[in-house]
Structure 1
Amino acid sequence: MNEIAIIIETVIKAVVVLAVVAGMAAFATFIERKVLAYMQRRLGPMNVGPHGILQLAADGIKLFTKEDIIPQNAVKPIFKIAPVIAPATAFTAMAAIPFFPEFTVFGYTVTPIISDINVGVLFIMGVASVGMYAPLLAGMSSTNKWALLGAARTVIALLSFEVVSGLALLAPLMLIGSLSLIDINDFQNGGFSSWLVWQQPLAFLLFAIAGFAETNRTPFDLIEYEAEIVSGYATDYSGMRWGLFFIGEYANMITVAFLVSIIFLGGYNPFWIIPGAIMILIKISAFIFLFLWVRAAWPHVRPDQMMWLCWKVLMPLALVNILITGIVLI
């Protein structure tokens, strides 16, 4: 009976996470348009509903009803599968994230994590890396050079910033001695001064920069840079297949925001009179706002500039940080 209860609980958690995060990802598109409009002295969406709030519904209807075009010479099986990989990997990575502290419902204790595995950080990083195959396969299976260039830039981003993000996390993980996100959160339960960002500020900065590249956000959105390669890997896509790529992108933004909040910013531990659940929401909202702010403020970089930044600046800094942390621990 206990096993049946665990299975039912896991299924309910997975459905709730899928529904809530998908809704958050859709709402993030509206928030992004409003925030960018405010920073650029525009109004943004205003015509559909009060202050444009129903623009979400209009965009959803458009995506679901728009004609699904597949180019005649595309590699059709791969072309069709590629958009599914992006959201699938994004939501799978969330299985190891503890979203909130434990709470009790009718005497039953609920742990807000789908699967509490002791290598949660490694699992999330691995699954997120697989997600890069979505734009890679989409670009390679399409029929135009812009999509192929976008796919080639996907490989550049994968080789560059996956290494940086992994090395950036090594130093804080050396301090904690565990790959479980629950253990990492509990390591910082001593209050504001125990947050890992104070002990590992360089690791925080490196991981945040790598997060911008892994989520394909400005200034590292090279694989769909509209000024150079139209829409990159997604040039040949339309309708819901196009929408799946961006559901995956915004879901990845939420995942990165949770990772940064849990690993460096105290996680879901309470702060003063603010409960832990409210604190984690404040932290991820602030980091997602940072994503939007950077898009409004920073220009794009070239692929060669991104690789130079990774291999000659960020990676040496990550290695030096690991060395210093090791010396301190010894």
Structure 2
Amino acid sequence: MRAAIVTAPDTTEIQEVPTPSVGSNDVLVRIRACGICGTDTLYIAIGGLPPRHGCMPIGHEPAGEVVEVGRDVSGIAVGDRVVVNPMALADDIIGNGGSAGALADFLLIKDAVRGRSLEVVPHHIPYEVAALNEPMAVALHAVNQVAPRQSDQVLVLGAGPIGLGITIALKSRGVGHVVVADILPSRLEKALKVGADAVINSREDDVTARLIELHGPGESMWPNRSGTDVFLDAAGVPAAVETALAAAKRGATLGVVAVHKEPVSMDFMNIMSNELTIIGSMGYPSEIFEVTKDIVDNWEKYQAIISHTFDLDDLQGALQCVATPGAADKVVITLS
């Protein structure tokens, strides 16, 4: 079978590798779609992770069709359409330094348990949409971390795939007013399409002033604060954090889910005097299949997040698309 393997820094190859054998507790999935994540590009840049540096399989956002089921596995049948938890086995994480990646024709789910390592989705859900399950679990965990109330007013900074997923999750749980800020008009259009109540072009507009128009003024010992209750950083640039903290009223919350590649300075007098809460978000401790129902119920909204699909044989074109700033939202590899 074919599999995408990181063979050296900045080098990924499609190689022929043995198709896995299925044990009594395992399930074999024919991969039909797999998203490309920013961490995939990081692994490629550094040549993979130990102990598989230089020979690391990648891909951890899969959806596929069950083609073989071990005799001791229950609740899963051949022909089922499934999404996968790549972190089900802590010592063998799929596509993140483990022995297998999901950018391949087949993926072996070891010690398969429905609801823990994989879950069934209806056949009418397109495979490429089902492949959003893992990154959308990341987005849902970010929302769960800040625990918004329905009465809250929220600003999402960044309208990439995670920011759009956060927007859908916020509206699915009934949050009253969600604003999305980004510098790309095309992404702001998508934010409105998936349910944002308003958008701000942060390249052209004064974000704080616009927030005050939308959310009213906020209580603070400092002037020019907005009534925004929750800020979610899905941008990963210092300006996003700086913008949120400059606009935050007393008691506001800032959630950080984006990966920051450089340190961000903060005015701790502002944080202290306004009693701000800053909370991080990483992965999906419990959300990997919690998000699945919402994807099934609202799959057409989630489909808008996908901007490009590529065949596995055109992996290099897909990676170039991902690496080009502003060129793509979510890129998904499809396999026939």
How does the TM-score come out when normalised to structure 1?
A: 0.27
More helix by percentage: 1
Structure scoring higher RCO (CA < 8 A, sep ≥ 6) equals: 1
How does the TM-score come out when normalised to structure 2?
A: 0.27
